Amino acid sequence: MAHLLRSLLEQAHEAVALALRDGDLAIDATVGNGHDTIHLANCVGASGHVIGCDVQPIAIELARQRLASHGLDDRVTLFESNHDQMNKKWLEKLTPRPLRVVMFNLGYLPGGDHAIRTTKRTTVDALEASYALLDPPGLISVVTYVGHRGAEAERLAVLEWGKALERQWPGVRADRPRILESRFHHADHETGSLILIERPAASVSP
Ligand SMILES: C[S@@+](CC[C@H](N)C(=O)[O-])C[C@H]1O[C@@H](n2cnc3c(N)ncnc32)[C@H](O)[C@@H]1O
């Protein structure tokens, strides 16, 4: 039976689709098999661009093939890199497009080596870089999982990072970051979540 409530990944795709316009720039910080990269490439249109990175050469190659089979390879630049290396240089050739979305799908490559997975330290470093690079109004989407070692600690680290970010904008201010966690509840086991971090328009660095 089909569910009425969307999966976390579907909710993530809907959120980034709402944030993106034709001509925008988006980053896929965990390319994996390239499904999210394809979604982002469709959202930014032919005049937009997507930057994708993954630490695994096999992921970059699989994504490259998948993008080519969808005719989307022209609007995507892939880097074999750790996302904690994300910086302005990645975007330089692609300006003046505004960076509106950075997407993270944490964990390991499905069908790949489960030992190669995201970690809380590099994820938080990459989130920090992402927030600074976003052109407001912009959105960071993070899908977290359970079931592998460190997954719950990584989810909590993302939330802690979000809270610390919010504290930099004390009081009620329109430019304060907004953080939303969407999570299914199961009585008998832990669940992953979708964490959305909005950098509102007119945001000013503290
Ligand atoms: C759950 S998969 C991503 C799924 C993917 N977005 C898709 O649509 O198929 C997580 C990916 O993150 C990659 N990864 C792990 N640590 C990373 C890091 N520090 N920087 C960039 N990619 C990383 C893994 O190699 C893996 O391919």
Helix crossing, 120-133 with 151-167: angle to 10°?
30
Distance from the CA of 49 to the center of ligand 1, in angstroms?
A: 19
Using CA positions, which residue lies closest to atom 20 of ligand 1?
A: 82
* pLDDT value, residue 92: 85
What mean pLDDT do residues 86-104 have? 90
Residue-wise pLDDT for 16-57, tens only, equals 999 999 999 999 999 999 999 999 999 999 999 999 999 999
Prior bond of 96 cis (ω within 30°):
yes
Q: Does residue 149 have a pLDDT over 90? A: no
Distance from the CA of 116 to the center of ligand 1, in angstroms?
A: 9
| Nearest alpha carbon to residue 137 among 198, 181, 194 | 198
Task: Please report, in angstroms and rounded to a whole number, the separation of the first and last CA atoms in the chain.
Answer: 49
Residue-wise pLDDT for 158-191, tens only, equals 999 999 999 998 888 888 999 999 999 887 777 8
CA 45, distance to chain mean position in Å, is 18
Distance from the CA of 114 to the center of ligand 1, in angstroms?
A: 11
> Where is 182: in which H helix or E strand?
strand 178-182
Please list every protein residue whose CB sits less than 6 Å from any atom of ligand 1: 30-36, 53-56, 59, 82-83, 105, 107-109, 116-118, 122
Distance from the CA of 109 to the center of ligand 1, in angstroms?
A: 6
Probe residue for ligand 1, chosen from 54, 106, 113 as the CB with the greatest number of ligand atoms within 8 Å: 54
35: left (phi over 0), alpha (psi -120 to 50) or beta: alpha
* pLDDT value, residue 105: 98
Q: What is the 3-state secondary structure (H, E, C) of 40-91?
A: HHHHHCCCCEEEEEECCHHHHHHHHHHHHHCCCHHHEEEEECCHHHCCHHHH
Using CA positions, which residue lies closest to atom 18 of ligand 1?
A: 82
* pLDDT value, residue 203: 47
